[in-house]
Amino acid sequence: QSAGGQLIFVDTADMSIMSKQEHPDLSDVEWDPTG
């Protein structure tokens, strides 16, 4: 059973939090820098 998670989107120019999203079934995140 997954503990769930939260995604936090950060503006790296000034390190401000742009958005927080709850994702109860989140287990992994993969980043693709190509967009």
Q: Residues 7-24: pLDDT tens digits?
A: 888 999 999 999 999 988
Domain hosting 15: range is 1-26
pLDDT of the residue at 3? 52
DSSP output for 22-34: EETT-------TT
In a domain, 34, yes or no: no
pLDDT of the residue at 25? 83
Task: Note the pTM of the prediction, 2 decimals.
Answer: 0.56
pLDDT of the residue at 13? 95
Place 31 in a pLDDT band, splitting at 50, 70 and 90.
confident
pLDDT of the residue at 4? 62
In a domain, 2, yes or no: yes
In a domain, 10, yes or no: yes
In a domain, 33, yes or no: no
pLDDT of the residue at 22? 92
Total number of domains in the chain: 1
pLDDT of the residue at 18? 96
* Residue 4 exposed, middle or buried by CB count within 10 Å (0-12, 13-18, 19+): exposed
